[in-house]
């Protein structure tokens, strides 16, 4: 294990590992069939301090650095169902970090503290029917009316959207046609006019609920504005880095599990008189995959080091160098994971195509990595801008 993890990190990792082995892994087959997992999973994780590992103690967290979240993500991968990982990580690494960064004392008490405890379930409302990667093109409006905002519009592909008790939502609060009119507001889902239009069916991540949401004159208190009005785009760009980092770390751990399981399968599956893993062509392919996996891990860990230094040691905004490294890690891991899962499925032959096999589920689930949190094409565009192309 990397020297970046202290004894404290490893003790926390053991807690996560036990939680996954006892509470998650035995149930994921049923949850995949049901296309959902129960809300008690959020509460149990909260009771163990998993959501708040890298949040301040005064926010209800453990006061750790970001390596705690990396350890958590790596262990979550052992659940063998990325839909569970997705739901839990939206709660801890995607919908709530900006509340910790920007929230007032009242917002933190009302939304963040119960979310880290698992008493409230969070969702992140960014993508919508006409704007995904082009965040600046969002359309939902939040019009100021006295002491309230009146929210109208729609969001889609919202993880935890069916069950969420609040939404960290990006919307237009101004008339600026660029990014200057975008803000972030906290939207309780019991607000009048808030509608879950439908539950969406997906290629993979079956046990995570994904919803389309509509706002029809949702009146929310102006005190639910996060940070300053008109700066939501810039806040979100910082928040995206956490999402991309944890996605990369968790995906690498998942790929390692599939590679190891495939090798074991190849030791026992014989063809033409000997185990198929003894075929030189497959040995070479597995060597290449393990090498790429290690390269991805080191790139991601390097990005985490930079992120950890700037956010937890210096308390500063992220530099362009760190954003570049995170974008590179997200890009590289997304492309690598597609290759690894496809090769491992091929290695299993007909069994790989069966829904009952682990590699089949992993192949479906990983395809999101090149899309969610910024497509591979958007990552390349961001990197190109930073390095001056």
Catalytic residue numbers, as ranges: 243
End-to-end CA separation in angstroms for the chain: 37
Whether the CB-CB separation of 251 and 337 falls below 8 Å is answered with yes
Round to whole Å and give the CA distance between 94 and 86. 10
Rounded to 5°, angle at Cα 12 from 21 and 325: 100
Task: State the DSSP code for 269.
Answer: -
Residue 273 burial (10 A CB sphere; 0-12, 13-18, 19+): exposed
Q: Where are the beta strands (DSSP E) in the chain?
A: 122-125, 141-145, 148-159, 166-172, 182-188, 194-199, 210-221, 225-226, 270-271, 274-275
Round to whole Å and give the CA distance between 161 and 156. 9
Strands 122-125 and 166-172: parallel
């Amino acid at each position: 294990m990397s020297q970046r993890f202290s004894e404290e990190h490893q003790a926390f990792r053991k807690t996560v590992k036990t939680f996954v082995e006892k509470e998650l892994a035995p149930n994921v087959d049923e949850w995949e069939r049901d296309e959902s997992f129960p809300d008690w999973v959020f509460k149990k994780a909260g009771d163990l301090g998993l959501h708040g590992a890298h949040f301040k103690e005064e926010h209800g967290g453990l006061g750790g650095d970001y390596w705690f979240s990396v350890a958590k993500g790596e262990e979550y991968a052992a659940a063998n169902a990325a839909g569970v990982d997705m739901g839990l990580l939206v709660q801890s690494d995607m919908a709530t970090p900006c509340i910790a960064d920007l929230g007032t004392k009242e917002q933190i008490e009302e939304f963040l503290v119960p979310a880290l405890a698992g008493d409230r379930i969070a969702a992140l409302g960014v993508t919508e029917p006409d704007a995904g990667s082009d965040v600046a093109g969002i359309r939902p409006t939040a019009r100021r009316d006295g002491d309230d905002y009146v929210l109208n519009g729609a969001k889609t592909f919202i993880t935890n959207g069916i069950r969420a008790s609040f939404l960290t939502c990006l919307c237009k609060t101004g008339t600026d046609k660029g990014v200057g009119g975008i803000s972030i507001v906290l939207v309780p889902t019991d607000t009048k006019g808030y509608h879950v239009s439908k539950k969406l069916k997906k290629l993979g991540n079956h046990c995570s609920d994904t919803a389309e949401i509509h706002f029809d004159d949702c009146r929310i208190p102006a005190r639910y504005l996060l940070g300053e009005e008109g700066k939501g785009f810039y806040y979100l760009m910082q928040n995206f880095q956490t999402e991309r980092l944890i996605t990369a770390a968790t995906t690498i751990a998942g790929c390692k599990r599939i590679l190891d399981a495939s090798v074991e399968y190849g030791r026992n599956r014989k063809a033409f008189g000997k185990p198929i893993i003894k075929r030189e062509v497959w040995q070479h392919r597995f060597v290449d995959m393990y090498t790429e996996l290690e390269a991805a891990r080191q790139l991601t860990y390097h990005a985490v080091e930079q992120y950890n230094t700037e956010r937890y040691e210096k308390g500063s905004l992220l530099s362009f160098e760190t954003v570049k490294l995170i974008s590179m890690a997200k890009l590289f891991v997304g492309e690598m994971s597609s290759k690894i899962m496809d090769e491992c499925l091929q290695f299993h032959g007909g069994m790989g195509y069966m829904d009952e096999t682990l590699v089949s589920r992993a192949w479906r689930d990983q395809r999101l990595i090149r899309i969610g949190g910024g497509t591979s094409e958007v990552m390349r565009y961001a990197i190109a801008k930073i390095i001056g192309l």
